[in-house]
């Protein structure tokens, strides 16, 4: 029994005793030659302009809506909401709005013809 274990251990040791040669992923590939489209001065000028702007979109305190000014009044938004409330309720109903759409009373973008030609095409 002891002889079998020793023989098995020697066979396994011989199988894994080979040399391993590790290579980098780019071993067969030549050096990467990168040439930027912009000069160092251009990049540094962009960095200076970025720092002077005082806005860092990667900051946790970045607020893109801080300087937002809407051209639409609150009354206009409320009127649009009230006008579309019935359509939104119908489209979110149990049948996903299929009954509402079947009535063809939907205002908005006309459906797109995906296949075929118009009747009056020449």
8/4 Cα distance (integer angstroms): 6
> Does residue 94 form part of some domain?
yes
Q: What is the pLDDT of residues 21-71, one digit of tens each?
A: 666 666 656 666 777 889 999 999 998 988 888 778 788 888 888 888 889
Is the distance from CB of 56 to CB of 63 less than 8 angstroms?
no
Which residue range(s) make up the domain with 86? 75-106
> Does residue 83 form part of some domain?
yes
| pTM (predicted TM-score) | 0.32
DSSP reduced 3-state for 47 = helix
Q: What is the CB-side half-sphere exposure of residue 91 using CA atoms within 13 A? A: 10
Q: How many domains does the chain have?
A: 1
Ranges 13-17, 25-29, 79-83, 99-103: which has the least confidence: 25-29
Tokens at residue 13, please?
Answer: 């040791």
Q: What is the pLDDT of residues 85-112, one digit of tens each?
A: 888 888 888 888 888 778 766 566 666 6
Q: What is the CB-side half-sphere exposure of residue 24 using CA atoms within 13 A? A: 6
> Does residue 24 form part of some domain?
no
> Does residue 4 form part of some domain?
no
| Length, in residues, of the chain | 122
């Amino acid at each position: 029994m002891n002889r079998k274990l020793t023989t098995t251990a020697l066979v396994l040791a011989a199988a894994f005793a080979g040399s391993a040669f590790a290579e980098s992923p780019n071993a067969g590939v030549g050096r990467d030659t990168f040439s930027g489209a912009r000069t160092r001065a251009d990049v540094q000028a962009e960095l200076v302009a970025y720092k002077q702007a005082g806005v860092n979109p990667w900051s946790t305190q970045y607020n893109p809506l801080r300087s937002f000014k809407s051209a639409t009044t609150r009354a206009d938004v409320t009127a649009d909401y009230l006008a579309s409330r019935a359509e939104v309720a119908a489209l979110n109903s149990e049948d996903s709005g299929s009954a509402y759409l079947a009535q063809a009373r939907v205002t908005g973008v006309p459906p797109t013809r995906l296949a075929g030609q118009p009747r009056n095409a020449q």
